[in-house]
Structure 1
Amino acid sequence: MQKKLFLYVGCLLLALAGCSGVKEIQYETYITALGLDYSRGEYILYTQAMNFSNTSKQEGGSGLEKSTTILIGRSKGKSIQAALSSLEQNATMPLYYGHVNTILLSKNVLEQKLPSVIDFIGQNPYLRYNCWLYGTNADIKEVFSGEGFFNLPSLFSILHRPEPLIKNNFFMPIEKYNRFISKYNEPAGSYIIPSLEIKKGKFLKNKKPMDIVTLTGGYAISQQKYKGWANKQDLVGLKWFSKDAINIPLSLFKERVSVIIENPKGSINVLNGRNPSYQLNVKTHAVIVHNEENISVNKIKKELAQQIKNQIVKTLNKGDEMKVDLLNISEKPYRYHNKTWDENTINHFKKELVKDINVKILIDETINYKR
């Protein structure tokens, strides 16, 4: 019995000894975002990190009492890995990349070094493909230092959590890296990487302007090439063909009427001919939430349909200017009609190939005032 007891206790001690190599969370630096720039032959790497307690304390009320600390790292190197190694050698606590939630790329990187970034992310075992992907022409460290509402950390901003914005006020698709990499090598269509900048003056904290990270537009990538940047006013047509659009607010008649578009359904019909041509269709429901002068529903419906058409045409015009299919229309014949036309014919997309834009709107209800 004594031998059996001794053997049992020994096994328990061996099991406990196996935990000796586990790292305690308070002794590591958790990187939440990774930024990359390129200038004068060198990569400039930025990291955004937060103390574990800064995030965990948001479960209680104390997290709103004072601003959370944001730690930003910066280093240079001839390669991305060299810049990363340089930063690690100067850190006082080990850097951990398993919690990177956002990747932010400068315009220079998107123009010149995107293949190198793709290789780096693919080879790094800690960087996951479900990170949010953004671009910027601003100083990356300023974007990483953007303020959150009520002293909440950056984890509660569009940089890390764009879902509430997408759900409640959809403007353009904000997608994760895996979606980008799945379309990067496609021989037709395009992909839009959302761009971020710091905007001041829209919100005040203690009477001082806040530095808020804001969506400003997007960078177009097509056939593994950078095609340029478009501001969000020129990309307004994107939302009518996105499956993520749930609520879209619009103003009509010089803001005298406000409506909410719900779950728009955009579709593309490919028309036969020597070259592929297209008919664009949008079907949607709308709710009138403000009607200052009691304008008729039929008049609102007609004006709303025209505004949707105008927004689609505006994005088509910008695409022609940039020589890229911003609405990703040419992807449809590539996927479903590739025996009818070759890739060169499909990729020769111009706005003139859109022969018709049909918009059908059903106004379900108008808002009722509380009594």
Structure 2
Amino acid sequence: MRRILLIIMISSQFVFLSGCWGAREIQTQTFITAIGLDYADGEFTVYIQALNFANIAKLDGDSFLQHSPVLIGEAKGKTIQSAFSKLEQNVALPLYYGHVKTILLSENVIKDQMKAVTEFIGQNSFLRYNCWLFGTEFDIKSIFRGESFLNNSSLYSVVHSPDTLNKNNFFIPILRYNKFISSYHQPVGTIIIPSLGVNNTHFAEDEKKKNVVVITGGFAVSQQQLKGWVSKEELVGLKWLSKDATNIPISLYDENVSVIVQKPKKTIKVVNGNKPSYLLIVKSDAVLTQNEDDKSIDEIKIELEKKINNDILKTIEKSEEIKADLLNLSEKTYRYHYNKWDLNTIHSIDKESIKNLQVKMHIEQNINYKR
């Protein structure tokens, strides 16, 4: 009897090890890597970007295969789901959403249709909350057609790998959807959705210019409302108050002097008054990497501190213009001093909100020449 039971148990294991029932081969599905959403004239336009995963990073001898084409799909509908349904009814291979890495929104969607977007993503079990979230003022198809270098897949571009490309060149914080949705309904502060554009002025392969996708600025969203688009130059103060900033290269004196500011540390203190104001302190070490003018360390220190001070004030001025707290100073007031002021007063940010701004840099010289 025991022998019979043992044979039955062993035989049953072969049933479960025989394979994945209903599994599809990689070549029998359309693997979507990015989704784009636009809205105009009462209709949504959905875009998908799909790549051939069988060819990505596959070696042929010692060289890469030729760059695989990018498939772009497009459909319109009264709702996001109805537009996707039209796409699904016309594909040669079934659409698979489990590999979506990026969600790209037009300005119109960010302005008027974020509720529809959050509902669609929340209801689709295949769309993950750790997708990258971007906006754009450009045509979405032009972003999805953006090129990588040296026949590499589009996966190696800012659309799909912004953390890798921006790790050592921090400027505008990149955003995952879960971070966005956790802050979207907060009563204070501003979320910056990074905006993408296409640049063809810096790189070429042979004589052909490369259409490279770049971060151009960001869409400022506060209290579930789009406050406006802000350029990279106007968001320049963000990096000095971010905990994610690492090594920040800065050029001074008409680019004849270069320094790298290392992991700036911020302190924000709330000052009492008729409305909240703030004491900001930014401290950091910096390494001098170029000094063509033979400036003294003291001169460079003064110029660097002045540059950082102006960067922060520039972003504060833009905050006042669009009525959005781009530096998220009000978050500390709301969390720790909520009973002292009402929400409208806490939201009020302008140049007068900065009671005192202190920038303290320590510069080390690190210019060595090969011998």
TM, length-normalised to structure 2: 0.95
Describe the shift of the 1:20–1:310 C-alpha distance in structure 2 as closer, same or farther (beyond 3 A).
Answer: same
Q: Structure 1: how far apart are the matches of 2:135 and 2:216? A: 10
Deviation at 1:13, TM superposition (A): 5.4
Q: Quick check: 302-311 or 266-275, which moved more?
A: 266-275
What amino acid is the match of 2:49?
Q
What amino acid is the match of 2:288?
I
Give 1:167's aligned residue.
167
Give 1:218's aligned residue.
218
Is residue 323–residue 348 contact of structure 2 (8 Å, CA) maintained in 1?
no
Deviation at 1:14, TM superposition (A): 3.3
Describe the shift of the 1:357–1:315 C-alpha distance in structure 2 as closer, same or farther (beyond 3 A).
Answer: same
Deviation at 1:191, TM superposition (A): 0.7
Describe the shift of the 1:18–1:204 C-alpha distance in structure 2 as closer, same or farther (beyond 3 A).
Answer: closer
Deviation at 1:12, TM superposition (A): 4.7
Could you tell me the percent identity over the aligned residues? 53
Task: Verify: 1:266 aligned to 2:279, yes or no.
Answer: no
Give 2:318's aligned residue.
318
Deviation string, structure 1 residues 154-180 (Cα, Å, up to 9, x no partner): 111111111233221111111211111
Deviation at 1:5, TM superposition (A): 8.4
Give 1:301's aligned residue.
301
Describe the shift of the 1:277–1:8 C-alpha distance in structure 2 as closer, same or farther (beyond 3 A).
Answer: closer
Q: Structure 1: how far apart are the matches of 2:8 and 2:203? A: 67
Q: Structure 1: how far apart are the matches of 2:340 and 2:322? A: 27
Deviation at 1:24, TM superposition (A): 1.6
Describe the shift of the 1:309–1:40 C-alpha distance in structure 2 as closer, same or farther (beyond 3 A).
Answer: same
Q: Structure 1: how far apart are the matches of 2:14 and 2:283? A: 67
Describe the shift of the 1:166–1:318 C-alpha distance in structure 2 as closer, same or farther (beyond 3 A).
Answer: same
Deviation at 1:129, TM superposition (A): 0.9
Give 2:72's aligned residue.
72
Give 1:20's aligned residue.
21
Q: Structure 2: how far apart are the matches of 1:157 and 1:5? A: 55
What amino acid is the match of 2:183?
K
Question: What RMSD in Å do the two structures reach over aligned CA positions?
Answer: 1.9
Q: Structure 2: how far apart are the matches of 1:262 and 1:43? A: 44
What amino acid is the match of 2:150?
F
Q: Structure 2: how far apart are the matches of 1:86 and 1:175? A: 30
Q: Which has the higher helix share?
A: 1
What amino acid is the match of 2:283?
K
Q: Structure 1: how far apart are the matches of 2:347 and 2:4? A: 78
Give 1:142's aligned residue.
142
Deviation at 1:9, TM superposition (A): 7.1
Q: Structure 1: how far apart are the matches of 2:59 and 2:158? A: 17
The alignment covers a number of residue pairs equal to 370
Q: Secondary structure of 1:125's match?
A: coil
Describe the shift of the 1:159–1:187 C-alpha distance in structure 2 as closer, same or farther (beyond 3 A).
Answer: same
Deviation string, structure 1 residues 129-186 (Cα, Å, up to 9, x no partner): 1111100011111101100011111111111111233221111111211111111011
Q: Quick check: 190-199 or 159-168, which moved more?
A: 159-168
Q: Structure 1: how far apart are the matches of 2:40 and 2:340? A: 45
Task: Verify: 1:243 aligned to 2:243, yes or no.
Answer: yes
Give 1:192's aligned residue.
192
Q: Structure 1: how far apart are the matches of 2:281 and 2:13? A: 68
Deviation string, structure 1 residues 104-131 (Cα, Å, up to 9, x no partner): 0000101110111011111111111111
What amino acid is the match of 1:313?
L
Describe the shift of the 1:146–1:61 C-alpha distance in structure 2 as closer, same or farther (beyond 3 A).
Answer: farther
Is residue 248–residue 261 contact of structure 1 (8 Å, CA) maintained in 2?
yes
Q: Structure 1: how far apart are the matches of 2:184 and 2:224? A: 6
TM, length-normalised to structure 1: 0.95
Give 1:51's aligned residue.
52
For structure 1, the 5+ residue unaligned runs are none
Is residue 54–residue 69 contact of structure 1 (8 Å, CA) maintained in 2?
no
